[in-house]
Structure 1
Amino acid sequence: MSKRQSAKHKLDRRMGENIWGRPKSSVNRRSYGPGQHGQRRKSKVSDYGIQLRAKQKLKGYYGDVTEKQFKRTYAEASRMKGDTGQNLIGLLEQRLDMIVYRAKFAPTIFAARQIVSHGHIRVNGVKCNVASRRVFVGDIISLGDKAKEMALIIEAQGLAEREVPDYISQDGTDKITFVRVPTLDEVPYPVKMEPNLVVEFYSR
């Protein structure tokens, strides 16, 4: 499991957007970038800079996965039939930690990754602690017995700031089924994501 070394909300401020849609995001109070020079005047951004920003924002949204892992996911998306950008989003949404987050089993993607790595999640009845594991259509994701009583998970299920998307079917409060791989338009991003720019970045 990759571990984020810096404060996650610095990414919000660097992007100038509340990329996870959390009420506690520091960008709600300080819309300028982090650090000593965060308030300096912004210069014109090159095409490369725009593409890099789109890549960093998408990568950061999914729990700041490692560059190696993200690039490997892109390479797989590019080998698949159809639009590479759409394929990339589909593959990212099939990660187990993201499914746990979408199902509201965790308040944040970082908490979802931790819950998975601690062995609290079952895939088709079998314990899995690999956050990057791919979930396939028809797979059933459920909480372990201990997890059902965890305050963190109970809190997440009561969050009003986001809903469980249509491509995940709920079966009570502790079990869901992955119904289909979503398209970009179906994914409930709080901010605009531009996978087409990510494709351009890696296609240079």
Structure 2
Amino acid sequence: MSKRQESKYKIDRRLSVNLWGRPKSPLNKRDYRPGQHGQRRRKPTDYGVQLMAKQKLKGYYGNIGERQFRRLYEEAVRLKGDTGENLIGLLERRLDAVIYRMKFVPTVFAARQFVNHGHIKVNGKRVNIPSYMVREGDVIEVKEKSRQLPLVLEGSSSGERDVPDYLDVDHSAMKGTFTRIPKLADVPYPVSMEPNQVVEFYSR
């Protein structure tokens, strides 16, 4: 179970963005934060901007706790190249993120639960760890017995989003290949993400 108990739509309202680009988001009707003072507009400080960037990126992936997210940041620092780009690459390599991108499930929240329940195979072996890091060339598939589940049928038929080009997916076989680690520009975020602000936040 996720430590986060709030509804995903409460996350939308708290951050004042339609984080997943879904038509059901309350932000489509009320583009302000919840609560008595939700409609007040204040210019954020540099710290506020960095914190918001972190909360958006962390919230988008649905179930990542602060400790786990910080570990991903520290791993991104150790890798060669731009830390912000490395962080995006690590987040997109998570198994729950990959099956969400492949449209095997309709939401990132469903993705974590789906993996936890043992419905996914990587290179022919069952993997039930949502944070499992997928590598280039790995083949991810939905177990044969799970392919007709309503959740899977809803995800694969959804017209809300497209499969990005760093994944090669065959929905008739419910199987896909992680072809390469994406850069920020490759990832189809519905809202603007600023990983460099996240780096600044943790570098303080």
TM-score scaled to structure 1, two decimals?
A: 0.96
Flag structure 1 segments of 5+ consecutive residues without an equivalent.
Answer: none
CA distance in 2, matches of 1:172, 1:6: 32
Other-structure match for 2:120: 121
For 2:136, the equivalent position in structure 1 comes to 137
Partner of 1:156: 155
1:1-204 aligned at under 5 Å gives the runs 2-39=2-39, 41-173=40-172, 174-204=174-204
The amino acid across from 1:24 in the alignment is: K
Q: Considering only aligned residues, what root-mean-square deviation do their CA atoms show, in Å? A: 1.1
Separation (CA, whole Å) in 2 of partners of 1:3 and 1:144: 27
Once superposed, which parts of structure 1, at least 4 consecutive aligned residues long, lie more than 6 Å away?
A: none
| Worse overlay, 46-55 or 9-18 | 9-18
- What is the alpha-carbon distance in structure 1 between the residues aligned to residue 171 and residue 157 of structure 2? 14
Give 3-state SS (helix, strand or coil) of 2:114's partner: helix
Amino acid paired to 2:148: E
Deviation at 1:24, TM superposition (A): 0.7
Alpha-carbon displacement from aligned partner over 1:33-68 (angstroms, at most 9, x marks no partner) = 0233322x2222110000000000000001141000
Shift of 1:6: 1.0
- Aligned-residue offset at 1:11: 1.3
Residue 4 of structure 1, CA deviation = 2.1
Contact 2:156 2:171 in 1 (8 A): no
Q: CA deviation at 1:172?
A: 4.1
CA shift at 1:101, angstroms? 0.1
Decide which moves more: 102-111 or 5-14.
5-14
Structure 2: distance between partners of 1:154 and 1:76: 35
Distance 1:96 1:71 in 2: 18
Q: Match of 2:9, as an amino acid?
A: H
Deviations 1:146-168 (A, max 9, x none): 21010111011111111111000
SS in 1 for 2:56: helix
86-95 vs 23-32, which moves further? 23-32
Quick one: distance in 2 between partners of 1:110 and 1:169?
22
- Identity across aligned pairs (percent)? 61
Q: Give per-residue Cα distances to partners, 1:153-197, cap 9 Å, x unaligned.
A: 101111111111100011343000000000000000001000010
Residues paired across the two proteins, number: 203
Give the distance between the partners of 2:171 and 2:108, measured in 1 at CA.
21
Q: Report the secondary structure of 1:169's partner residue.
A: strand
Amino acid aligned to 1:126:
K
1:147 and 1:135 map into 2 onto residues whose CA distance is 21
User: What SS is found at the alignment partner of 2:106?
Assistant: coil
- In 1, Cα distance between the equivalents of 2:28 and 2:185? 25
Render the CA deviation track for 1:113-163: whole Å, top value 9, x for unaligned: 111001000011111110000000010000012210101110111111111
